[in-house]
Copies of this chain bind each other. A is one copy, B any other.
């Protein structure tokens, strides 16, 4: 997998190469040499921008999470139909997978078990995703008869947990149900939410 050069800076080229290497080869094989080979630059370039490999991976977690969060926010802003929101989330999930982001994030979360600095990154980004999930849920239940009954914080935590857990299982080829099937299964519920919304 070749690195996607999405920005002009060398630092971004290194981060893109780290994402691609994690996705294609996994954390345990993501050496400085492997990242450099993926990106088509000398290994020394990594150490010009980052203290060490852990520093690179901490920055990679930050980079990929922030980029995807921004994209999720852009694509879901102002969407007031549950059916439309579901369609947008499905597209975003396809982008996550195609760009190697999901695979890279899984590798980094697994590695966080033995890296306190990566674990700290997971904590920080998890908060940002939790906040976004809460906002999406609030947008869907606003004005519904059952609005006050929905435990938004807990539902958002369960949704983020399910996304992470399902991707982890998918990454291990242990998912009995494809993401496509999950999105399809959620459509009747989304249709009902739209039908019950008070105009």
Contacts and interface: CB of A to CB of B under 8 A. Distances in A.
A172 B26 contact: no
A130 interface: yes
A112 B109 CA distance: 12
A171 B113 contact: yes
Interface string A138-175: 00000000000101011101111111111011011111
Given A154-B182, A161-B162, A188-B149, A109 B176 contact: no
B172 A157 contact: no
B165 A160 contact: yes
A172 B28 contact: no
Main SS of the interface on chain A? helix
A55 interface: no
A132 interface: no
Interface string A115-152: 00001001100110010000000000000000001010
Interface of A: 26-28, 106-107, 109-114, 119, 122-123, 126-127, 130, 149, 151, 153-155, 157-166, 168-169, 171-177, 181-182, 185-186, 188
What 6 A-B pairs come out closest when comparing CB atoms? A165-B165, A161-B166, A164-B165, A151-B185, A154-B185, A161-B165
